[in-house]
Chains A and B, each alone.
Chain A
């Protein structure tokens, strides 16, 4: 009796079996890895803005303090975005005719606000509060990255719940002395108090920071 399958059928069967296996494994890997990719989380993406504002120039170059523009970062949940008026305190004197700054001048002249696009956007059911993080010694860079190097602002951290929880489980490594919170050049040195000492200094650790009710309402 003649064989029903030719010898090449063995190869086809093996290819199909192995292929199916690879597809399942690949699918599982993709399912796991895809949402964790920086690409999907838009890490490092810059967003087009009406004015290509450079933190690199203003922070690293000119040494302007974060709080000059983000005035409510120590007193409110929102850090606050500067009104056009703040931009024009300097730009009515320098670069008064720069084409790049035309939207800023028009904003002031026409009394129409500049519409910035969000770089970091937390879900609406998360209530992040800037002032308590500043008060407890978390530097801006912990969440916003090396902002002083960004010619165009980009998202530097994943800002996922896992990212938040890493720090809420163990805040110590992210704490800075009070005078270094807004200092973008700060690095831990031998003189810096130890993380444990900072925890004690800021009275962190009295409550369970991983309770749902800390961030969700």
Chain B
């Protein structure tokens, strides 16, 4: 008997109040409310008559053979005319590249996959990387040149730039502002520009920057070295408010390496990880021990930890976990690694460097490399200089690329008015673009040549994936135009940078990696002062306000991406909104419930926004999420959420007041409720218990059944999900959305519980709301062998096939929704409206191998049937069985941590191995559905047993 745990999804339902259970038990709670509205007999009859008449119409079909066929005039060079192909490039965020492959069908890019040859990806992708394809097809992308609101021709731009080249002189008033850049070509062009305009300056600004890490490295080593952890070699991981698995450059690789040591059924040296953080992060949730610590205590605890490790002191006034942790770290000499997040001050980073050195990790658990970023600067200082110069009138020409300071930096818009010539280059509509003199449309990264470096320095050439959808300019071409009048081909510029032979160039494009470009290991020596660094105490006050990027919209640049807007945030499950995350203690003090308006003031700046209670957040902390509330963005992001950037500029004490009224937020945490009396949706236990009895969490042997409906086909598809590896990052959800043409529905429909994601990640809490255990569980159609949905369908629209797939036949479905009602896992999705037709997405952006579902049709996970069908045809052509690991589902291939394994169980392989794991259990096994999806229970490496 597995241990009975009470796992709850949201605080407001922690008590499992009877009203909630009744409401959740009804499959479509919103429908009940709609039906309760009074209707007279006459209008019901009218509706019935109209329905019958329309039903008759549906039988009408003009039968006209549809459509046209348009062959090309000339056969395309070097291409096979049909089938899908992959082209390597990279997805760049904050300057750092993650290698990707873009899948093309019939010559058009339709899906992003990870690049298995790229060190930062190894085949995995992030949610943001997956969604980039939607950004490419975004109809709101900026088009046309605009000067002071008037459309301009390309020739007038060239004339203007010619005048600029003459007027800039030595470049004293010439400034370029970008985000962080790792592109070797871009920095080479900047260097060339500096030759021509010796007095120009290049400023950098990212609202979510890594300044503190850089400054910390300078404090510790005297140079801006970067840390390159090897997490698969780490036995003891200590993270301090870290983003190691969330968003740090290389996080996909880190997740992979971390997960490799997390399942005791597959590794005999399970790692242990501690997270010390003020607000839950993916890194913290993945840890064995998570300590909730306020930032003001962190500045006290981390120096104490350093003192304890470096000088053997035993500081007083520390929490109870402090001494054992310090002892364990010392015991794990040469096997430990400490990581602090970018929100921590430089001094803490310096202390972490000193501790890592003292613990002998350098060379064993991590290495130091020279900076990957081109010409790294302190961005805050760089921006202060720029703003001062702008206000003083020293800036005569300002070129802004890949940055949106008018939105992200309070006061920049005012200063911009004093610049006589300003120009924005941006692919998307931005607030900054609306306020500079010139707005130039940039080419999307999928439309032009460029290059970028990964977290370890590896260079990837970004190659265009399609002809530009809209006329645009690449940053390289624009920089070249500031240099000289000749218009250049950005391909030549990039090619020139790397000096590769034809063969090398071809290989670099094909593999997505330029060989031997890893950054050299740095031999920097730790400065003696590093161990003495003392972080400044944060300002006092009742509330500590933290700013964090939204996990999906980031700093706001993806605000017009509907996939990312509607993606439930990993920890809050909120969509389309960014309420202020308050700790349960603050909520109690101010009497706040989820959605209550709250007014936050920092000095003079104040914002009113709804509140959201975040279990597991430090008592004094409130977290404001950046990236929402864009005003000039496009139709999707317009009006979604609240702009909290004004608060970042205010200095002074933080005050929080309860406002009046309440907002309805689109949160999916209570959607699709599943119930089992045991309450053990995510089974979990300790490593010690596992070692005593490995099968202690596994499910019981298969129950005997009167039915014998075991599929008999030549293949048997199955999936296993390792909950030890899953970090809840949502990459799988976006991958599924992209692969299967899943529509977005908008905030209002999400509130009505009509979101269409075939794959959801359930998040459970367990224990004390102030410091709960947080657990993730991806749930999709479980492909039950005894499927409850199939027996209730009156039209046979959902049936079993021989290979064990629960198949949904859209053209048979009449929309009774009985199947969804009878599904214990609540994984079926109904098209209440023509969601697909209403999507602002061109038809060419869709996956042509998957049916676009019409209104009134039920749909659900198909195990990526289109991929199975392709493999089935290939195998049949070769007269061989389908290999065990030949088919990878979209979610599986996107997962950076390899949590999902799918395959043909009839042929053995990885899937058969994983199914044999003693941790394997089935979700809701009391239902007797015999799902083809199984889970591996989560094991926590807690207590004194380090497992090493």
Contact = CB atoms under 8 A, between A and B. Distances in A.
Interface stretch (A21-29, A80-88, A181-189): A80-88
B938 to A, nearest CB: 33
Nearest to B878: A135
Q: Which of A84, A123, A124 has the most CB of B within 10 A?
A: A124
A125 B68 CA distance: 18
Interface string A98-141: 00000000011001111111111101110101011001100000
B83 A75 contact: yes
Nearest to A74: B877
Nearest to A45: B65
B75 interface: yes
Interface in A1-59: 40-42, 45, 47
A113 B72 contact: yes
Interface string B831-852: 0000000000000000001111
B865 interface: yes
Contacts of A72: 80-82
Nearest to B868: A213
B802 A208 contact: yes
Given A135-B876, A213-B807, A217-B869, A121 B73 contact: no
A214 B852 CA distance: 18
B815 to A, nearest CB: 16
A121 B877 contact: no
Interface in A176-217: 203, 206-208, 211-214, 216-217
A131 to B, nearest CB: 7
Q: Which of B68, B69, B802, B879 has the most CB of A within 10 A?
A: B69
A151 B570 CA distance: 62
Interface string B454-495: 000000000000000000000000000000000000000000
B35 interface: no
A119 B67 CA distance: 9
Contacts, number: 133
Interface in B747-768: none
B71 A211 contact: no
A132 B877 CA distance: 6
B706 interface: no
Contacts of A114: 70-71
Nearest to A39: B63
A77 B65 CA distance: 20
B913 interface: no
B63 A117 contact: no
Contact of B68 (A111, A116, A123, A131): A116
A11 B88 CA distance: 84
B108 to A, nearest CB: 15
B72 A47 contact: no
Given A72-B82, A207-B713, A207-B714, A84 B71 contact: yes
Contacts of B849: 127, 217
A81 B809 contact: no
Given A72-B80, A85-B74, A131-B877, A118 B807 contact: no
B877 A135 contact: yes
A203 B851 contact: no
B25 to A, nearest CB: 31
A165 interface: no
Contacts of B83: 75-77
Contacts of B74: 83-85, 111
A111 to B, nearest CB: 5
A118 B811 CA distance: 22
A107 B810 CA distance: 40
A213 B876 contact: no
A217 B739 CA distance: 12
Nearest to A129: B873
Q: Which of B63, B70, B71, B849 has the most CB of A within 10 A?
A: B71
Given A80-B82, A84-B74, A107-B73, A212 B66 contact: no
Interface residues of A, number: 51
A40 B71 CA distance: 28
Given A125-B811, A213-B803, A136 B876 contact: yes
A204 to B, nearest CB: 9
A19 B865 CA distance: 53
Nearest to A115: B68
A96 interface: no
A92 interface: no
Contacts of A113: 70-73
B408 interface: no
B355 to A, nearest CB: 54
Contact of B809 (A42, A80, A85, A212): A212
Given A72-B80, A121-B65, A203-B876, A212 B869 contact: no
A125 B810 CA distance: 8
B862 interface: yes
B63 A116 contact: no
A27 to B, nearest CB: 13
A79 B852 CA distance: 23
A208 B804 CA distance: 12
Interface in B788-826: 799, 801-803, 805, 807, 809-811
Contacts of A71: 81
A142 interface: no
Interface in B857-894: 862, 865-866, 868-869, 872-873, 876-877, 879
B71 A41 contact: no
Nearest to A133: B873
B801 A217 contact: no
Contacts of B803: 207, 211, 213
Nearest to A77: B82
A86 B302 CA distance: 73
Given A75-B80, A216-B810, A217-B849, A83 B72 contact: yes
B191 to A, nearest CB: 42
A112 B73 contact: yes
A42 B65 contact: yes
Given A41-B63, A113-B73, A216 B809 contact: yes
A124 B865 contact: no
A83 B877 CA distance: 27
Contacts of A75: 80, 82-83
B67 A118 contact: yes
Contact of A217 (B63, B73, B850): B850
Interface in A62-78: 71-72, 75-78
A212 B812 CA distance: 11
Given A113-B72, A213-B801, A217-B850, A76 B82 contact: yes
A94 B14 CA distance: 82
A85 B75 CA distance: 7
Nearest to A124: B851
Q: Which of B714, B865, B873 has the most CB of A within 10 A?
A: B873
Contacts of B69: 81, 115-118
Contacts of A80: 71, 81-82
B801 A211 contact: yes
Interface in B890-948: none
A202 to B, nearest CB: 8
Given A129-B869, A155-B65, A213-B805, 13 more contacts: A40-B63, A77-B83, A83-B72, A113-B73, A117-B67, A117-B68, A118-B68, A125-B810, A132-B876, A132-B877, A208-B713, A217-B862, A217-B869
Interface of A: 40-42, 45, 47, 71-72, 75-78, 80-86, 107-108, 111-121, 123-125, 127, 129, 131-132, 135-136, 155, 203, 206-208, 211-214, 216-217
19 contacts: A42-B63, A42-B65, A72-B80, A72-B81, A75-B80, A76-B83, A82-B71, A114-B70, A115-B68, A116-B69, A117-B68, A118-B67, A125-B810, A131-B873, A132-B873, A211-B803, A212-B807, A217-B851, A217-B862
Interface of B: 63-75, 80-83, 713-714, 799, 801-803, 805, 807, 809-811, 849-852, 862, 865-866, 868-869, 872-873, 876-877, 879
What 9 A-B pairs have minimum CB-CB distances, sorted nearest first? A76-B82, A81-B71, A211-B801, A84-B73, A125-B851, A135-B877, A213-B801, A132-B873, A116-B69
